[in-house]
Amino acid sequence: MTMNEPFIHLTKVRKVYRKKDAEFVALSDVTFDVAAGEFVSLVGPSGCGKTTLLKILAGLLPHDGGEVRLGSAAHSFDPSRDIGMVFQQPLLLKWRRVMENVLLPAEILGLPLRESRERARELLSMVGLAEVSDKYPYELSGGMQQRAAIARALIHDPKLILMDEPFGALDALTREKMNLELRNIWQTSGKTIVFVTHGISEAVFLGTRVVVLTSGPARMADDIPIALPDKRTLEIKTSREFGDYNRRVYRLLGME
């Protein structure tokens, strides 16, 4: 990829669900680019098509119009190898220990086990779970389970991480802590992340940009660069700049 070429390129993306004689337009006109290494928060009302867009990026759903490009002609992009996904629920296999859960994508892809196990140890250390690698999921808190899910998404060294409301089921205090940890993980790993959330404050806190979608069928409302310091603490949420970004998104969503 050249320096100016986007890592993700979306132009007028459209998605229509069809059932018998009825049609439901989930996405009508979504256009934005994501540069390599960015953290883009995707926010919008419930049912506006955020998860649908994430599934299109993951190669799980076809789009019905427009253009979706990941990587470039010069750099191939294989969704099975180059994408990691984190869902709202950790979806850990209850009969496998934490280490074995993290190793699962590497096993499926047939990656060398010795190297993968070493990488898993490094990832578990990075997400603060080195001491519980031999525990079962039921022995972990919700936040710890989600950190294991993030490590699992990174095990095969994907180029892109897609996250669909990963902290939505957590209590408020755990969610705040996970926001801090995810920013640190992103800065340490250097991965490109697209993060779907309903939380406006969460979107602003985490993102280098916030892409705002309208009510379904989703259209682009705005694409907002977030000019906050790279090193973010919860104290930044009390700043005037943070409040200004929040109010801007609220207005775009018709909530002011």
The pLDDT tens digits of the residues spanning 7-43 come to: 899 999 999 888 888 888 888 889 999 998 999 999 9
What is the chain's mean pLDDT, rounded? 89
Amino acid identity for residue 232 in this structure: R
Please tell me the predicted confidence (pLDDT) of residue 1.
41
Per-residue DSSP letter, 49: S
C-alpha dihedral, 77 to 196 to 32 to 11, nearest 10°: 70
Question: Is residue 159 a contact partner of residue 190, using CB atoms and an 8 Å limit?
Answer: no
Domain ranges of the chain: 92-158
Please tell me the predicted confidence (pLDDT) of residue 137.
96
Q: Is the pLDDT of residue 217 over 90?
A: no
Tens of pLDDT along 42-99? 998 887 888 899 999 998 899 999 999 887 654 567 777 889 999 888 899 999 999 9
User: Taking residues 196-218, what's their average pLDDT?
Assistant: 90
Of the listed ranges 59-73, 103-117, 221-235, the one predicted with least confidence: 59-73
Please tell me the predicted confidence (pLDDT) of residue 136.
97
Question: Is residue 9 a contact partner of residue 37, using CB atoms and an 8 Å limit?
Answer: no
The model's confidence at residue 3, banded by pLDDT at 50, 70 and 90, is very low
Instruction: Tally Cβ neighbours within 10 Å of residue 174.
Output: 16
Q: Is the pLDDT of residue 216 over 70?
A: no
d(CA 249, CA 9): 23
User: Taking residues 126-131, what's their average pLDDT?
Assistant: 91
Please tell me the predicted confidence (pLDDT) of residue 49.
84
User: Taking residues 105-120, what's their average pLDDT?
Assistant: 94
User: CA-CA distances (angstroms) from residue 94 to 70, 136, 251?
Assistant: 33, 7, 43
- DSSP lists the bridge partners of residue 209 as 40, 225
Amino acid identity for residue 161 in this structure: I
